[in-house]
């Protein structure tokens, strides 16, 4: 059976991606929900799909526990992310558009528990939630 998962992007444009089998969809997570879960046991994996410069030294900073996989590189890294299939994944970008594209790629690859941070890092920053903003030293890269 083929079903369609829809993602509402910033400009209210529905993007449809065909999938085989029913997929539980909770496409969005609000910033306050994500913040509440960060310190809890079983916190989601956070994958930030912004470019390296945006992630490491951009004005919006980054969520402390996030890993960075720029969207253009995501398709080539999906096998390495296989260990994350059973856990909840939250995708982050500046607004949410790139995160929605990443969600489509991950769902097509069999990841089922994928959410997009609604409003992205702009919303996270607007709410004053904690973030790292200093560039990482070369020793941490």
41-99 pLDDT, tens per residue?
A: 889 999 999 999 999 999 999 999 999 999 999 999 999 999 999 999 999 999 999 99
pLDDT at position 41 is 84
pLDDT of residue 9 exceeding 90: no
DSSP 27-86: -EE-HHHHHHHHTSTTPPEEEE-S-HHHHHHSTT-B-TT-EE--HHHHHHHTGGGGGGTT
Q: Where are the domains of the chain?
A: 24-134
pLDDT at position 40 is 84
Q: How far apart are alpha carbons 15 and 5 in whole angstroms? A: 8
Q: Is 52 left (phi over 0), alpha (psi -120 to 50) or beta?
A: alpha
Average pLDDT for 8-36: 59
24-134: CATH architecture: 3-Layer(aba) Sandwich (3.40)
Please tell me which residue, 19 or 126, carries the higher pLDDT value.
Answer: 126
State which of 1-10, 14-23, 100-109 shows the largest mean pLDDT.
Answer: 100-109
Query: pTM score, two decimals?
Result: 0.78
Contacts of 66 (CB under 8 A, 6+ apart): 46, 47, 48, 55, 92
């Amino acid at each position: 059976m083929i079903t369609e998962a829809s993602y509402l992007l910033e400009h209210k444009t529905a993007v449809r991606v065909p999938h085989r089998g029913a997929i539980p969809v909770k496409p969005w997570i609000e910033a306050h929900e994500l913040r509440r879960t960060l310190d809890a046991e079983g916190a989601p994996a956070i994958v930030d799909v912004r470019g390296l410069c945006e992630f490491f030294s951009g004005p919006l900073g980054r969520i402390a526990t996030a890993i960075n996989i720029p969207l253009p590189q995501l398709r080539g890294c999906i096998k390495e992310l296989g260990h994350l299939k059973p856990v909840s994944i939250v995708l982050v970008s500046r607004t949410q558009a790139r995160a929605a594209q990443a969600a489509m790629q991950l769902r097509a690859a069999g990841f089922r528990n994928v959410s997009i941070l609604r409003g992205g890092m702009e919303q996270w920053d607007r709410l004053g939630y904690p973030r790292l903003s200093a560039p990482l030293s070369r020793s941490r890269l």
